[in-house]
Amino acid sequence: MTWLALAYCSTATRPMSAVEIGQLLLKARLFNASVGVSGVLLHDSRQFLQYLEGPADAVDQVWQRVSASPLHQDLRVLMRETVSTRLFADWQMGCLVAPSSLLQRLANEQWRIALAVAERRQPSSAALALLRQFTADVQCNAQANAAHQ
């Protein structure tokens, strides 16, 4: 079976709180589960990178909802391709945030485990390269912010 994979980046229209991100994730997880889409959202409260995968019509439904959202702007599709294996089959919407609390650190550890599983599934995936780059950028920004505080 083949799946559609789509990755995009965007900028929040304003910084979002952890509560707002949590509400966004809850809605996304419920909708994604209902249409059979899995994926991951990476963010630092201002910049987003999201990777979606699933049946083509379902990914297109999610993309329509995402692109209509007033919560972000400057949406850019980074990749849209057919894949033979899902990278995040077990997640309706995983999440990685720049660590600033213990709870976020625990969520990030879950992300690291899921990323390792995805890398075993498709080690040369273009989507994984995008996700790794965003992760490195977020971690670099978090370290720079911590050094200035």
* pLDDT digit string, tens, across residues 37-75: 998 888 877 788 889 999 999 999 999 999 999 999 999
Average pLDDT, the chain: 81
pLDDT at position 67 is 95
Distance CA 111, CA 113 (A): 5
Dihedral angle of Cα 102, 104, 106, 110, to the nearest 10 degrees: -170
% helix, strand, coil for the chain, step of 5: 50, 25, 25
pTM (two decimals) = 0.67
Tell me the chain's radius of gyration from C-alpha atoms. 15
What's the maximum distance between 2 C-alpha atoms anywhere in the chain?
A: 50
Ranges in the chain, pLDDT < 70: 91-110, 141-149
